[in-house]
């Protein structure tokens, strides 16, 4: 069965960085895009970008360019999302979500991690 399991909750101070992990199982990790989506308290879903685990290529939403870095470790089928220069409005639940097969476009996010709560507070 396909699963995405994320790391635990984080509390960070403004200006710090946070790195969230997402371990995939039950499918070929390098065969699908991995996306990151966040949701602020009481708000909607916001797409942050994707990583191609096969090529290490990335595509970030314009809003997060310069602050977000998505990486992966293929040896342990794990994707990472690091967000730097944290602000209070980065407080949110961060989700990883599996996208489409590498090379395809316009795909849905069919499998989601359980979410990681990141709280930014002084």
Footprint of other proteins (CB under 8 A): 35, 37, 44-47, 59, 61-62, 95, 97, 105-110, 112-115
Cα distances (angstroms) measured from residue 66 to each of 63, 95, 105: 9, 20, 24
| DSSP per-residue letters across 31-78 | GEEEEEEEE-TT--EEEEEEE-TTT--EEE-GGGTTTEEEEEEGGGTE
Q: Which residue lies nearer to other proteins by CB, 53 or 113? A: 113
Q: Which residue lies nearer to other proteins by CB, 89 or 122? A: 89
**At its nearest, how many Å lie between other proteins and the CB of residue 110?**
5
**At its nearest, how many Å lie between other proteins and the CB of residue 28?**
18
In this structure, are residues 97 and 112 in contact, taking their beta carbons and an 8 Å threshold?
Answer: yes
Q: Which residue lies nearer to other proteins by CB, 74 or 114? A: 114
């Amino acid at each position: 069965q396909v699963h995405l399991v994320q790391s635990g909750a984080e509390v960070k101070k403004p200006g710090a960085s946070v790195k969230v992990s997402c371990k995939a199982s039950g499918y070929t990790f390098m065969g699908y895009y991995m996306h990151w989506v966040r949701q602020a308290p009481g708000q909607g879903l916001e797409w942050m970008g994707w990583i191609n685990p096969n090529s290490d290529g990335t595509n970030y939403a314009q809003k997060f360019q310069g602050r977000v870095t998505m990486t992966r470790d293929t040896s342990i089928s794990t994707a990472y999302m690091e967000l730097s220069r944290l602000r209070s409005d980065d407080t949110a639940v961060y989700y990883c979500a599996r996208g489409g097969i590498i090379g395809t476009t316009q795909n849905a996010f069919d499998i989601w991690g359980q979410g990681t709560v990141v709280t930014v507070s002084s």
